[in-house]
């Protein structure tokens, strides 16, 4: 009889211990590590745009929509200025994505330009905005143009653009209007669309009398690239439609956007603790 009681006590104790272990395992699995912010590098500067204001518009606007923390390098005021970070062979090391909003169209140094493109070829995602598509166009190498996804050497005069979505099902275009009125922007002329470019939206050129791709995705080497030639004025960049678009593009390039155009868990806007 005593043996039976002791056996039952042993079984009960074992079951209790198993329950504690199971609870601990469930608790451990449930306590997931907090998502780390996307580490984004913004390179900006050069001629012809209000980069002092735009770096603030973009960094604050995107971080209000996604879990992104920024390092901003803003250097130069002309088409020929060199950026100090680009002088390093591993200039993009430690970043999850690079946002290019720069205008250095007259730089001819091939080695310098190819050094900028290489981290993207090796897999660092990128966002290419506006004059980034015109940057380094004087250099006799196609590496930067392939990274952007298109070759463009000039633009039409400022005028209102009617931006038409051509890939409404793409995650980046979820929530973007079928037709968007972009007031007083520059239409960049497509000289060449590289093979990996996927058009997402176009606008009609009043001077060229043809449509031009103004929003797209691209693959360059191992990297996913989002690009738009829209964004000459602060008014365009401040528009919620534009900021929503660029945020989705950045998340898509980083693999943090779902098929419905929503940030993956942990990558949406960070709300301050109350």
Top pLDDT among 8 and 118 is at 118
- Which position has the higher pLDDT, 141 or 6? 141
Q: What confidence category does residue 11 fall into, taking pLDDT thresholds of 50, 70 and 90?
A: very low
Instruction: Please tell me the predicted confidence (pLDDT) of residue 44.
Output: 98
pLDDT in tens, 70-121: 999 999 999 999 999 999 999 999 999 999 999 999 999 999 999 999 999 9
pLDDT (tens digit per residue) in 112-157: 999 999 999 999 999 999 999 999 999 999 999 999 999 999 999 9
38-253, what's its fold?
A: Rossmann fold (3.40.50)
The pTM of the full predicted model, rounded to 2 decimals, is: 0.88
Q: What is the pLDDT of residues 17-36, one digit of tens each?
A: 344 334 443 344 445 688 99
pLDDT of residue 102: 98
Mind listing the pLDDT tens digit for each residue in 173-230? 999 999 999 999 999 999 999 999 999 999 999 999 999 999 999 999 999 999 999 9
What is the enclosing helix (H) or strand (E) of 243? helix 240-253
User: Quick one: which of 217, 214, 225 has its CA closest to 164?
Assistant: 214
Strands 192-193 and 38-46: unpaired
Task: Please count the CA atoms within 13 angstroms of the CA of 149 that sit on its side-chain side.
Answer: 24
* Every domain of the chain and the residues it spans: 38-253
| Residue-by-residue DSSP string for 33-86 | PPPPPEEEEEEEEESSS-HHHHHHHHHHHHHTTS-EEEEEEE--SSTTPPPGGG
């Amino acid at each position: 009889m005593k043996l039976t009681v002791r056996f039952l006590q042993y079984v009960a104790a074992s079951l209790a211990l198993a329950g504690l272990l199971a609870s601990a395992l469930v608790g451990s699995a449930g306590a997931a590590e907090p998502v780390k912010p996307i580490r984004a590098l913004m390179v900006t500067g050069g001629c012809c745009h209000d980069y002092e204001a735009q770096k603030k518009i973009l960094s604050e606007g995107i971080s209000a929509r996604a879990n992104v923390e920024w390092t901003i390098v803003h250097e130069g005021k002309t088409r020929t200025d060199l950026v100090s970070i680009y002088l390093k062979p591993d200039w993009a090391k430690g970043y999850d994505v690079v946002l290019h909003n720069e205008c250095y169209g007259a730089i001819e140094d091939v080695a310098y330009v190819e050094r900028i493109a290489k981290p993207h070829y090796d897999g660092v995602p990128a966002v290419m905005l506006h004059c980034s598509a015109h940057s380094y166009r004087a250099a006799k190498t196609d590496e930067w143009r392939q990274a952007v996804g298109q070759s463009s050497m000039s633009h039409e005069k400022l005028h209102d653009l009617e931006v038409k979505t051509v890939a409404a099902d793409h995650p980046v275009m979820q929530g973007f209007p079928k037709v968007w009125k972009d007031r007083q922007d520059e239409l960049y002329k497509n000289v060449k669309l590289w093979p990996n470019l996927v058009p997402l939206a176009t606008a009609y050129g009043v001077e060229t009398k043809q449509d031009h791709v103004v929003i797209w995705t691209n693959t360059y080497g191992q990297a996913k690239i989002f690009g738009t030639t829209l964004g000459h004025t602060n008014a365009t960049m401040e528009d919620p439609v534009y900021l929503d678009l660029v945020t989705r593009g950045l998340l898509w390039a980083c693999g943090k956007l779902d098929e419905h155009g929503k940030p993956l868990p942990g990558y949406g806007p960070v709300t301050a603790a109350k």
